[in-house]
Chains A and B, each alone.
Chain A
Amino acid sequence: MKALEIRNLQKTYKNGHVALKGIDLTINQGEFFALLGPNGAGKSTTIGIICSLVNKSGGSVSVFGNDIVTMSAKAKSSLGIVPQEINFSQFETCLEIVLNQGGYYGVNRKLAHERAEKYLNKLGLWEKRNDVSRTLSGGLKRRLMIARAMIHEPKMLILDEPTAGVDVELRRSMWNFLTEINSRGITILLTTHYLEEAECLCRNIAIIDGGMIIENTTMKQLLSKLNRETLVLDLTTTIDGIPEIDGYPIRKIDPHTIEVDITRQQGINHLFELLTENNIRVCSMRNKSSRLEELFINLLENNNRD
């Protein structure tokens, strides 16, 4: 079953800006899908169209087989939305916000109360249920939007940068929450700027840039495309000059630290043999940036060159 099917989706805003140039995207039921892209790539526009907040200019979108225009009620009922920007009333309490959202989906008051308690608890907001929303911290506001999106227990959850501006601890607990509901069969589509987040959570990934999908694959395959990485090596001994080792470009950061570029074919065993021969002892090693980050930057560079 396809949870989401997007065909040749186009959007031109009223000011003439072309935000989507015909994108195709398919997400199967149960997937945990990441949509990545730089600022202004068209992520929020895509999500806006899926959840009926933005009018499309062309193409089609269907959610669990229901076209968002002709079968909008069915399509909407199966979606839960966590938008990029805060969009609840600043004067209502957390509980009111979640309960009202349940009401809009036709969830009766009693059931809505049970679920509100369940999800506000899970997201650490139950204690604050009677607090007026504007008094919450930024991270808690984001969690409130997740609780709100779960009130009708949708089959698919769409989150637009849910962890932007959220501290590490809250982010981890949000990840746990999302992983848990995904394991219960809820399809998830997530946009993020934290590549680490996509790498850690998602099995499938699409990269959007300039209103076009430039990559759409599994996380595994994508990472396997990464041909070159940069390693940072911390040394036990200090070095004076830059050691010259055939085939491995080395840069010296400080007398204790060097950077080495290696390709997939070379592997690291050989590098270490050569380092040992040159009397360079390594005490620790790490990737300069996350592997996905490097890949991402490579992809965007290639896309802009084309």
Chain B
Amino acid sequence: MARADPWQTAEVAGPKKAAVLNQAEVAMAVIRRAKRPLLLVGHRAAEITLGGRPLIDWVIRLSKGAALPIIASGKAAAALVGRRYPPAACLPVMDAANRLADPAWTGIDGKGGSDLVLLIGLPYPMAWTVLSGLKHFAPHLKTITIDNVYHPQASLSFPNLSEEEWAEHLGALIEHFEE
């Protein structure tokens, strides 16, 4: 499998494909440049482990390090609350994406919408469809996926990665911010 093939073989997007995010520095630069970035966290973050630690702990480190407010869907919200790190908002992912697509949205804090969203922990078909919706109907928004699967519908995506590689990629990104 090539690193930039869609993880689900048949999910071919078309002419506009995500740039592959191989270097943590690039991701960091994009996040730093964004005015109002957000982290959208799906339920899988509360269910799976990475490098022997719950993925939700990686999410918290990233959120803290990069000062990324979190919108979490149900189970992820519960896991965050359980770690005394409640999300900035708890919304179903469809609802969150629909708001993100609206340039007039006043944001989770009422101070403005978003120009960058990072996604992690969503089931593949949902992440796929949501990213496509944002690609086509939210021209004001960049999307980055940081799961271990390549998502052609994003603006930028981690490639298909083994668990060890994923831990390295995510770890490097977090460490850049923590430095």
Tell me if chain B binds chain A.
Answer: no
Residues of chain B having any CB pair with chain A under 8 Å: none
Residues of chain A having any CB pair with chain B under 8 Å: none
